[in-house]
Structure 1
Amino acid sequence: MVSALIVIVHAVLVVSAPVMAVIEVEGDAYIDYYDKYLWRGFDLSGGTPVVQGGVDLSAKGFTLSYWTNIQTKDDVVLGNDVNSGDATETDITFDYTFSPTDKLSVSVGTIWYALDGAEDTKEAYLGLALDTILEPSLTLYYDYDQVDENALFYSVSIGQSIEMNDALILSVGSLVSFNDESDYAVGNYSDWHNYELSVGAD
């Protein structure tokens, strides 16, 4: 009787056990060398070279990213002494990206900025990107930690990748930003903030 009961209970558990879904996680790591660190038009490395690297983990549209900026020379940056090898900034980003249509992708997320020589802060963002000619995108940032005003920072960009040959892809792009009273990093004003042009090869 006991054996029969055990068999029945085992059968019920097997039938009712939930099917465990396997979540595929993709990841990548990278490291780059730049002649300086520019962020929203500001030189955050004192004009000296930096090493930047990070790790991304993605699954089901969610991405967790770790990124850091490392100084390569002793210098004074924004009034603070920094030494070669110092990690002057580390960012943790949590992002969710989805595509409501074939041509439109939407990204929402938050960024935690851990800064050396300045107050740490956090931003939430919303990004829209079109998969069409020039690949236009619009991103809105809101600092919900250090900013005193209910302010936003806007960034609009376009870009295009051109396949020169089987071994070379040329990427060109431009960006313009607008500051709307987001006073923590860029100042308490409402006006166009910075313009950027970029060219890259892969």
Structure 2
Amino acid sequence: MLKKMILTAIMLACTAGVTMAFDADIKGDLSIDYSSKYIWRGKAISDESVMQTGLDFTMDKLSLGIWGNMDLTNDLEERNNFTKVDYYIEYGDKLGDVMKYCIGAKRFDFDMGSMNEARSEVYAGLGLDMMLNPMVKAYYDIDEAQDGMYIRGCVSESMDLSDGVGLECSASVGWANDKSNEAYWGSDDDAFQDFKANVGMPIAMGDWTLTPNVSYVALLDNDMREADGYYASDDPDYFYAGVGLSTSF
């Protein structure tokens, strides 16, 4: 899987180089994050410390990137291995002065336990440039969970606290149909799936930004709470913290 990440990074770099040859305006973002857990759509991918890295390129309205989650402990016997790698491509633009939209595709490579496979989704999102920045995205699975649908509604806000220090807050709710829930949870019902809240404090450090953050995640469906992936619990609610380092170029 690491070879796939390296190959994809090379492809992204080549794409950026070709585009630069045509004088396109290219922006890049690099992130390196530590987190005490990795929870994805309410599912505990890792209940111990992880390192997460991402590399993105934006060319006008087109973005593409790669992101990976590496386990730092041997909780799942995956120490220093990437247990999930995401690849994505997205096109986004505005509709008028307030409304915005995006369309894209994602591929998830899992390398952990029974989820040792790749899955792909296409998605579309619609949002508003206004207070709380409401956004709704719908993801449609085209692989293992065919006809699976996951819809996520999110609000977010950011503000400056002082020179070089800010505050970022977000909250989201996810809903999934029976096909998606059967593939990921073994449940055959449509249901609201997960709730997530996050608070971060970005601190400017020259060309880099350091962002300590805390998150809370809760599963909303009883069947999912009983079948909570690798970490079955009667109360699978998660508090976890992390710190991220990012830069743009």
**TM range, normalised to the smaller chain?**
0.7 to 0.9
Q: Which amino acid aligns with 1:151?
A: G
Larger Rg: 1
**2:106 maps to 1:108:** no
Residue number in structure 1 paired with 2:94 = 99
Structure with the higher helix share, 1 or 2 = 2
Cα drift, residue 21 of structure 1:
4.8
Cα drift, residue 39 of structure 1:
0.3
Residue number in structure 1 paired with 2:201 = 201
Deviates more, 1:64-73 or 1:183-192: 183-192
CA distance in 2, matches of 1:188, 1:103: 38
**2:143 maps to 1:145:** yes
CA distance in 2, matches of 1:188, 1:141: 18
Matches within 5 A, 1:178-197: 178-181=175-178, 182=180, 183-186=182-185, 187-197=187-197
- 3-state DSSP of counterpart to 1:185: helix
Query: Mind listing any 5+ residue stretches in structure 2 that lack a counterpart?
Result: 1-20, 203-249
CA distance in 2, matches of 1:33, 1:98: 31
CA distance in 2, matches of 1:23, 1:164: 35
CA distance in 2, matches of 1:53, 1:21: 29
**2:156 maps to 1:155:** no
- 3-state DSSP of counterpart to 2:95: coil
Residue number in structure 2 paired with 1:51 = 51
**2:164 maps to 1:173:** no
Report Cα offsets for 1:119-139 as digits up to 9, x if no partner: 210011111121101111100
159, 164, 167: which one aligns with 2:161: 164
CA distance in 2, matches of 1:114, 1:169: 34
Residue number in structure 2 paired with 1:86 = 81
Residue number in structure 1 paired with 2:124 = 126
Runs of 4 or more above 4 Å deviation: none
- Percent identical across equivalent pairs? 26
Residue number in structure 1 paired with 2:28 = 27
Number of residue equivalences: 176
Query: Mind listing any 5+ residue stretches in structure 1 that lack a counterpart?
Result: 1-19, 77-81
Supply the RMSD in Å over aligned alpha carbons: 1.5
Q: Which amino acid aligns with 1:185?
A: Y
